[in-house]
Structure formats: structure tokens, C-alpha cells
């Protein structure tokens, strides 16, 4: 991962924000750029970040009221955040780095308030560039970035990304290409012509949104 990654504000999440975002948790917050962006769009009263990199976490303190530093799976998040108290949980390009991302989602889901949303993004292992290198060239070499980032422990396609987002009992809201075509009309026509299969090959990342529709006892 690079410095640019740590400091990138993920603007593609903005159309999926809940109407009210008073309290937010950003897992893998980097320098806090995305939290800062959400604060500009919503009246955020409290924000918490979790970040493995100590230098990035220190910068995130400028935008977050609290920052956990270290491995996300080892942080006592539930001791600091009450059930049904968060309006937004962000897990952007972080869950694929965990040995058990499903366990993490099941931990985080109960923290969401009614109508609170989980927004996650994961790389798409079905991306055509990866498949071309694998099938045509027999290339399965890990790299410093991309789908085969050497720190990735888990791999996803659209359906399994949805399963991940909803494994904690949340309801699916949307599953979209995180970085769609610049020309939406062309995207629509190509998707229709291919029966939706082309989108699954072109997507580098899936952005999945899930929501707590009701609190169950």
C-alpha cells in the first residue's frame, strides 16, 4: 500500500450515505481523508477510525475523535462503541486483508442504529486483466498493489462480496462497480448487450452497501 492510498478520500461512497450520519466508524481509515469528506457532507458529531499504520493513524486524529492503532481484528471496538449507536460503518479496501473478514462484519453489524449503513469495498478477482494474465499467461504473481496485492488474504466476486456485507444480518441496499465507466450510457448499453456479464469483468472493485432495517431482540 502506498502513501497515496492512505490519503485518498473515497468520494464514490457519497451517493450511498444515509441521510443522517451523526456517528461514524471507519475501519482502515488511513489519514482520515474519507472521514473528513463525510464530515463535509453530513453533520457528524463523532467519528472513530481504526488504522494499522501508526503514522497514518496520527494524521487521522485531526479528523477523528478517536483512533484505534493496530490490527483491526485485535481492537476492542465493542468496548468503546455501544450497540445500535452508529449511523455509518466504512470498510473500504480493508476486509480482504483480514484472515476472517466475516467475523469482523458480524462484530460491526450490531453497532449500527436502525437505518445505519455498512459500506464496504473489496477487489474483484473476476476482473478481466487478472483473468487474462492467469488464463493466457499463467501469471499468478503477487504484487505491491491491485487484485493480487501481496497483503490480500481473501478474494471476492460480486456475489461473495454481497454475502460478506450481509452476513451480520443487514439488508442489501446496493452492489455496484466502485469505479464505473465515465460514460454511463455506454456502460448501460454494454451491460445490456452482455446480460450484465461485462460489468463483472470490468469492475476492479465492488462497492456494497447494507443497512439495518430494524432492531431485533
Q: Is the pLDDT of residue 182 over 50?
A: no
Cα–Cα distance between 118 and 105 in angstroms, integer?
Answer: 9
Q: Looking at the domain assignment, is residue 28 inside a domain? A: yes
pLDDT of residue 183: 47
Residue 153 lies in a domain: yes
Least confident piece of the model among 17-21, 175-179, 190-194: 190-194
What is the distance between the alpha carbons of residues 151 and 204, in angstroms, rounded to a whole number? 17
Confidence at residue 197, expressed as pLDDT on a 0 to 100 scale: 63
State how far the Cα of 173 lies from the Cα of 70, in Å rounded to an integer: 30
Beta strands in 70-197 (DSSP E): 86-92, 112-123, 171-177
Domain count, the chain: 1
Average per-residue pLDDT in the chain?
Answer: 88
Count of C-beta atoms within a 10 Å radius of residue 111: 22
Angle subtended at Cα 210 by Cα 44 and Cα 70, rounded to the nearest 5 degrees: 60
Q: What range does the domain containing 24 cover?
A: 3-123+149-178+205-211
pLDDT band (50, 70, 90) for residue 2: very low
Note the residue count of the chain: 217
217 in any annotated domain: no
pLDDT in tens, 97-146: 999 999 999 999 999 999 999 999 999 988 777 677 777 777 777 777 77
Residue 136 included in any domain? no
Provide the CATH number for the domain around residue 92.
3.40.50.150
DSSP 8-class letter at 156: B
pLDDT at 40 over 80: yes
**Within-domain flag for 93:** yes
Strand arrangement, sheet containing 205-211 = 66-69, 46-51, 23-27, 86-92, 112-123, 205-211, 171-177
pLDDT (0 to 100) of residue 149:
77
Residue 91's CB is within 10 A of a number of other CB atoms, namely 26
Evaluate whether residue 166 is within a structural domain. Answer: yes
- Residue 159 grid cell: 456475489
Residues 6+ apart with CB under 8 A from 179: 12, 203, 204, 205
Per-residue pLDDT, 214: 73
Percentage of residues in the chain having pLDDT higher than 90: 67
DSSP string computed for 35-57: HHHHHHHS--SEEEEEES-HHHH
Q: What is the pTM of this model?
A: 0.86
Per-residue pLDDT at 211: 99
Helix and strand numbers, DSSP H then E, in the chain: 9, 7
Q: Is 137 inside any structural domain? A: no
Contacts of 103 (CB under 8 A, 6+ apart): 73
Cell 493466457 identifies what position?
A: 136
| pLDDT value of residue 17 | 98
Classify residue 134: in a domain, yes or no: no
pLDDT value at position 185? 53
The percentage of residues in the chain with a pLDDT greater than 70, rounded to a whole number, is 85
Amino acid at each position: 500500500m502506498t502513501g497515496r492510498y492512505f490519503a485518498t478520500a473515497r468520494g464514490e461512497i457519497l451517493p450511498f450515505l444515509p441521510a443522517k450520519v451523526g456517528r461514524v466508524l471507519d475501519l482502515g481509515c488511513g489519514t482520515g481523508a474519507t472521514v473528513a469528506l463525510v464530515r463535509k457532507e453530513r453533520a457528524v458529531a463523532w467519528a472513530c477510525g481504526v488504522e494499522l499504520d501508526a503514522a497514518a493513524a496520527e494524521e487521522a486524529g485531526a479528523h477523528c475523535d478517536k483512533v484505534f492503532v493496530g490490527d483491526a481484528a485485535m481492537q476492542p471496538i465493542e468496548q468503546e462503541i455501544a450497540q445500535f449507536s452508529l449511523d455509518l460503518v466504512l470498510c473500504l479496501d480493508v476486509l480482504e486483508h483480514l484472515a476472517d473478514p466475516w467475523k469482523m462484519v458480524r462484530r460491526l453489524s450490531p453497532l449500527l442504529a436502525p437505518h445505519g449503513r455498512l459500506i464496504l469495498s473489496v477487489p474483484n478477482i473476476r476482473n478481466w486483466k487478472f483473468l487474462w494474465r492467469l488464463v493466457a499467461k499463467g501469471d499468478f504473481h503477487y504484487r505491491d498493489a491491485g487484485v493480487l496485492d501481496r497483503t490480500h488474504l481473501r478474494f471476492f466476486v460480486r456475489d461473495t462480496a454481497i454475502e460478506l456485507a450481509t452476513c451480520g444480518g443487514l439488508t442489501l441496499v446496493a452492489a455496484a462497480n466502485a469505479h464505473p465507466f465515465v460514460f454511463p450510457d455506454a456502460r448501460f448499453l454494454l451491460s445490456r448487450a452482455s446480460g450484465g456479464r461485462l460489468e463483472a469483468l470490468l469492475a476492479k472493485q465492488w462497492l456494497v452497501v447494507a443497512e439495518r432495517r430494524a432492531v431485533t431482540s
